[in-house]
Amino acid sequence: MRVFIVKDYEELSVQAAQIVAGQIYVKPNSVLGLATGSTPLFMYHHLIRIYKEYGLDFSEVTTFNLDEYVGLPEADKKSYHYYMYDNFFRHVNLDQKKIHLPDGMAASVDAECLAYEKAIQECGGIDLQVLGIGQNGHIGFNEPDEKFEAYTHEVKLKQDTIEANARFFADISEVPTRAISMGIKTIMQAKKVVLLANGSNKAEAVYRAVCEGITPEIPASILQLHQDVIVIIEEGAAQYLKDRLTFQQKEKILFFNKIHECSKIIAS
């Protein structure tokens, strides 16, 4: 796990976009796992900028989104379908046939979960998975639990997740209580993972995910076992890391930050 602490949300977004763009440059037919919410929003804006200014080609890319609310049609402005098309998909040259999101209006949610998982596997799995982290440590909509859910599944959302997402709705009563989410095993099978964390409200979850034991009570902690994870954290979300990391952990973060600074100098 490589940890980079950056000064603000803008730098987090730029660095995340550069990683995604680099993946596409290296492998034009990459399979990307994509996240929604406020954290990756500016990453998408920067990817659009790279597409327009530098000709980043998305035409061979396949995408799979992490999750979708159950009961929201694609045209609903609060759905993740709408979010992705409004903020990213319609602004770049993605092949519409290669865009995948769970269908929250499926007649059978169980059948939709199985079909979504099959589609991911038929594409050979995910090359690069982008993740945010919830205040309770969730990734995707994999909520704290007594066990890790392996594959794409239906989730009953925790109250704190509902409350956190209420800012996107007119009233908390409008927030869906169930969702379809890619599972932990599917996420862990991605060849590379980028975890993004922004805001002091995520600081405790970040610390527990990065520094404490692996437990389904903090789903993001499972990423400690992944062979290729980059964690990009802005300073507010990193406040407990700075205060409570062991000396060895601090030295490791400083080391990777130095590499990161050198890479920016070389790139310029």
What residues act catalytically? 67, 136, 138, 143
Please provide the size of the chain in residues. 268
Nearest to 221 by CA among 189, 195, 243, 244: 195
For residue 265, what are the contacts with CB-CB under 8 A and spacing of at least 6? none
Cα separation, 212 vs 225, whole angstroms: 12
Nearest to 134 by CA among 215, 46, 195, 68: 195
Strands (E), the chain: 2-6, 31-34, 62-65, 67-69, 99-100, 128-131, 153-156, 178-181, 192-197, 229-234
Question: What sign does the dihedral 234-11-247-218 (CA atoms) show?
Answer: positive
For residue 184, what are the contacts with CB-CB under 8 A and spacing of at least 6? 139, 142, 148, 149, 150, 219, 222
